[in-house]
Amino acid sequence: MKKIYRFSIVSSFLGLWITTLFPEDFELALGFFLIFTFGMIHGSNDILIINTLTKKSNFHFLKILLTYLLTVSGAVLIFYWVPSLALVLFICFSAYHFGEQHWQESLTTINEPPKRLYYFSYGLFILFMVFYFNDEQVKMIISEIANINLNKLYAKELLLILGGSIIVFLIIALRQKKIELATIGKELFTLLVLTIIFKSSSLIWGFTIYFIIWHSIPSLLEQISFAYGDLKRPHILEYTKAALPYWLVSLFGMGLLYFAFKDEKHFQSLFFAFIAAVTFPHAIVMLKMFSKKNI
């Protein structure tokens, strides 16, 4: 994981360099391209992970596929009928999922309840960092998705609360010798890098750097290793081949959503709504994968 951490740091500064060299329109186009490729692929192969977890027959596989598609469809309907509830659920699911992906290797000796609360707090901290530096755009997206006009996001206040809880957790874990000081130092440096990126970048580009470099690529490597036992080239190619049909279906679904609501919603709002719809089942599948992996 040291290699992927170094890759993430170097790639993050490359992303920061792009913000100084190219106009925002280029950032927007490149950001959507990366999210629609690496980002979607990392969440497209949940069926393979479920199949690895269950090891059941093809008939059972078809039941799993149907259940998965119904879950995604249900999430889309919730966004349509009760968008404010869907938005809150999306933020909560995403926060936990981001925190779990980032920290699950470093906190193996921590008891489950505080560890899971920490995952949620850390992921929420990341999300509200994005919100804080893109206040007006985020309020516009919330208004379009949930039809709620917010005068203030209270991102700064929540960041202070979440940041304090994260520091307390890490100090306690350090005193109990359940985490190393070097790990804390590395993660604080990571947060510093992300702060600089979110402050210097547009909403989509800053989110892209975190979502692709710090989340999707590490998640892809975790999934391949879990499904095939290693990260050898043939297994990477096999994973990509298995993910391709689901990725194409995801792109098709995004296209349908866009053409159905393009006259009602801004594209960025539709984009986040679609990401939210696939996040619900993906977060649950990854939770099961990490639970199985850590047994």
HEC per residue, the chain? CHHHHHHHHHHHHHHHHHHHHCCHHHHHHHHHHHHHHHHHHHHHCHHHHHHHHHCCCHHHHHHHHHHHHHHHHHHHHHHHHCHHHHHHHHHHHHHHHHHHHHHCCCCCCCCHHHHHHHHHHHHHHHHHHHHHHCHHHHHHHHHHHHCCCCCCCCHHHHHHHHHHHHHHHHHHHHHCCCCCHHHHHHHHHHHHHHHHHHHHCCHHHHHHHHHHHHHHHHHHHHHHHHHHCCCCHHHHHHHHHHHHHHHHHHHHHHHHHHHHHCCCCCHHHHHHHHHHHHHHHHHHHHHHHHHHHCC
Q: Is the pLDDT of residue 170 over 90?
A: yes
The domains of the chain are located at 2-293
Mean pLDDT of 28-55: 81
CB 49 within 8 A of CB 111: no
- Give 249-261 pLDDT, tens digit per residue: 777 877 776 676 6
- What proportion of the chain, given as a percentage, has pLDDT over 90? 35
Half-sphere exposure of 48 (CA within 13 A, CB side): 24
CB 100 within 8 A of CB 119: yes
Q: Which of 6-10, 79-83, 219-223 shows the lowest mean pLDDT across its residues?
A: 79-83
pLDDT band at 228 (very low <50, low <70, confident <90, very high): confident
- Give 102-135 pLDDT, tens digit per residue: 998 888 888 888 999 999 999 999 999 999 999 9
pLDDT band at 270 (very low <50, low <70, confident <90, very high): low
Mean pLDDT of 10-22: 89
Classify each residue of 201-231 as buried b or exposed e, where b means 16 or more C-beta atoms within 10 Å of its C-beta: bbbbbbbbbbbbbbbbbbbbbbbbebbbeee
- Give 194-215 pLDDT, tens digit per residue: 999 999 998 889 999 999 999 9
Closest to 6 in 3D by CA, of 214, 200, 211, 188: 214
Mean pLDDT of 39-51: 78
